Amino acid sequence: MRFRHAVVTGGAGFLGSHVCTALLDQGAAVTAVDDLSTAQRDNVAHLTDRPGFTLLHANVCEPFEAGEPADLLLHLASPASPADYLRMPLHTLDTGSLGTRNALALARRDGARFVLASTSEVYGDPRQHPQPESYWGNVNPVGPRSVYDEAKRFSEALTVAEAAVHGTDTAIVRLFNTYGPRMRGYDGRAVPTFIRQALAGEPLTVTGDGRQTRSLTYVDDTVRGILAMAGSELRGPVNLGNPVEITMLELARTVLRLTGSDSTVRLVERPTDDPGVRCPDITLARGKLLWEPEVPAEEGLARTIAWYRQAVPA
């Protein structure tokens, strides 16, 4: 399916900027909506002169207009790193609730396909491993991470209710640990933190004993999955992630090797409610979207490190 006009909330963010680029490359006009609370204009600086691209500085928690009617609305807006959502807990909850309602209202009015970018965080600290879409999760609703976890869980429920009540064409994808160029050096997530520390000659701060696992998905693969979902008739939720797990200690050592850094690894206190394992069951994505990740972790990390070497992340 080819789209004429796509609205991307959070479009100036790390992931959103890559999504906007891919849509423009496919011939769509793109309106990126962003309040720039965690994003940077530099992320979309390479797009500002491209025909069909518009950056709208707006808070999705307030009703917004996006120019010409859209036939695709991708709702990516939300603080995503612990450093951001712990600093802005109410804004994070508002974005998942009010922001999702406003984005859905625009999609309903325009008759657009709506895709919610949810997260593997809805599974919490999982007791089922790997995590299929049918797993209900193990989330602490009042813990420090709950502002993000519950905002996304509520936005999923809202998206499903919107489709049931108004017939809006909605879909949900659950993203697993996307990484790549344009992540901020002080984002707080493991990949940019380790790379920044390694290049600066600082100790790599691994939390706990480093045996907790994550599913690292290179940004190009995540974008392909989101657009495949947008062009399908699936409602989801559908997991988009890499089924190859990596421990945090393995990740740190890989970053050290790829950067050639002499930095050491330092174990630090593990955050409250930090998941012990994280790995998607992508049977549904493989079977229905014909999607699976193509970029191995080492290659994706090498590309990301190369970007950090020539950029000055905020």
Out of 85, 123, 135, 148, the active site residue is 148
Q: Which residues contact 107 (CB under 8 A, 6 or more apart)?
A: 70, 73, 113, 114, 168, 169, 170
The one-letter amino acid at 34: D
Selection from 56, 63, 141 nearest residue 98 by Cα: 63
The one-letter amino acid at 247: T
3-state secondary structure of 73: strand
Residue found under tokens 């004429």: 4
280 strand-pairing partners: 131
Cα 269 from chain centre: 25
CA atoms of 222 and 173, how far apart (whole Å):
10
Residue 30 backbone zone (phi > 0: left; psi -120 to 50: alpha; other: beta): beta
Question: Is residue 148 among the annotated active site residues?
Answer: yes
* H helix or E strand, kind and range, residue 275: none
Distance of CA 169 to CAs 9, 55, 103, Å?
A: 17, 25, 13
**CA geometry: angle at 152 spanning 184 and 103, to 5°?**
90
Strands 213-214 and 246-247: antiparallel
Backbone angles phi, psi at 299, to 5 degrees: -65, -45
CA atoms of 265 and 187, how far apart (whole Å):
19
**Taking the CB of residue 311, how many other CB atoms lie within 10 A of it?**
12
Instruction: Label residues 248-261 b or e (16+ Cβ within 10 Å = b).
Output: bbbbbbbbbebbeb
Would you please indicate which residues are annotated as catalytic (active-site) residues?
A: 148
